[in-house]
Structure 1
Amino acid sequence: MKKPTIARCSFLLVFALLLSAGAFAQDEKPKSPPATATGEVNGANITIKYHAPSVRGRAIWGDLVPFGEVWRAGANDATTFETDKDIKIEGKPLPAGKYSFFIIAGQTESVFIFNSVAKQWGAYDYDESKDVLRVTVPSQETSTMEEQLVYEVVEDGFEVRWEYGKGKAHIE
C-alpha cells in the first residue's frame, strides 16, 4: 500500500478549499445585478444595459450621486444605450449605434450624455470630447420609492428612476 505524499495531500487540501470557496461564492447575490431594458419607440429598437444598484438606506441624489458631476448612470461598467435606427432625443439627432450613457444630475434638470466609447468602466476614463449628444431633461421627484435603479423604454422615450428621482427623455 502506498503512503500519501506531502505533495498529494497538499493538492487534495487546495482542491477541497477551492471547491468550498466556490460553493460559498454562489450563495452571494451581486449588490448591483446586471439588467436590460428593451423596447421599440417610433420603429427603433432601443436596448439599455446597466447594473442596478440599490438604495440600501443611502441618500442618492445630491449625495451618492453628486449634483453637477458626470455619473456612470448605474454601477460597474458604464451603462450602454443602443438604437438600431437614427432617432431624435429631445429633438436632437442620435445616429444608430451603441453608446455609453452618462448623467449629470441636477435638482431641477439633468443632462443625459451619449458618448461614442461604448465600453468603459464607470466614468473613470470618460472623455467629454467623445460625446455624440447631450440633452437636458427635467429632474422630477416622485412619490414612489424605487429601491433599485431601473430604466424603462416607454411609448415615447425612456425613463430612469431611482429612490424618489426620475428623468425622462423623449424619442422621435
Structure 2
Amino acid sequence: MNASLRAAAAVLALALAAEACGRVPSGARRKSQPAMLVQRIGGTELTVRYNRPSARGRRLFGGIVPWDSVWCPGADEATQLRTTSDLAIGSAVLPGGAYTLWMVPDSAGAWTVIFSRAADAYHVPYPGTRRDALRVRIHPRAAPYVETLEYALPVATPDSAVLEMRWGDVAVPIPFRPR
C-alpha cells in the first residue's frame, strides 16, 4: 500500500473512531448543538460540556423526561462536568475530577442530582449507582422559558457559585463552593 493510501486509511479510521465514540467531527449537522461553559471560581476551574436539546413544542418534564426516572440533562454524549479542585455542595464534597451529570426529576419536590464517575458515558443508559460519586437533593425553581437546554452560572464569586440547568420553564440551581 503506498503512503498516500495509508494516510487516507488512517484519516478514515480516526474519523470512524471519533464517530463511534460519540464525538461527531466539527461541522457535522446535529439537532442538539454542542456547548461548553468554562468558569474560574477563585483558583478552581469548572468546565461543563453538553449538547443542547430543544423543546420543539414537546412537553418536557412529565413528558419526554419522565418523573422519578434517571435522566441525562443534555443529549447525545452525557453532560460532562470537570473541576480542578474539590467542590462543597451542601454538606457533601465532590472530589476534583471529571464526572457526568444526571438528574431524577420529582413532580412533588426536590430533584436528585447525580455526579457519576463514568466521565465519558453516552446519555443512555445511566451507568448505575455503583459509579455514583455524589447524589444531592436540589429544589428546582420556576424560571423564564428556555427553548434550548442550557447551563449557566448566574452567580460566580471567588468563593462560591451557582451552576444552573435551565430548560422549559424549570431551573435547577446547584450552589457550590470550591475547597
> Do the structures match in fold with TM over 0.5?
yes
Moved more, 158-167 or 146-155: 146-155
SS in 2 for 1:123: coil
The residue identity in structure 2 corresponding to 1:38 is: V
SS in 1 for 2:140: strand
Q: What percentage of aligned pairs have identical amino acids? A: 29
The residue identity in structure 2 corresponding to 1:43 is: G
Q: Is 2:171 the partner of 1:170?
A: no
Please list the CA deviations of residues 20-52 of structure 1 after superposition, one character each: whole Å capped at 9, or x if unmatched: xxxxxx998421011111112343211111110
Count of residue correspondences: 146
1:1-172 alignment runs, 5 A limit: 29-107=29-107, 108-142=109-143, 144-153=144-153, 154-155=155-156, 156-172=161-177
Unpaired stretches in structure 1, ≥5 consecutive residues: 1-25
What residue number does 1:11 align with? none
Structure 2 Cα separation of the partners of residues 171 and 31 of structure 1: 31
Structure 1 Cα separation of the partners of residues 105 and 70 of structure 2: 8
CA positional deviation for 1:89: 1.3
SS in 2 for 1:129: helix
Moved more, 41-50 or 77-86: 41-50
The residue identity in structure 1 corresponding to 2:123 is: G
The residue identity in structure 1 corresponding to 2:145 is: M
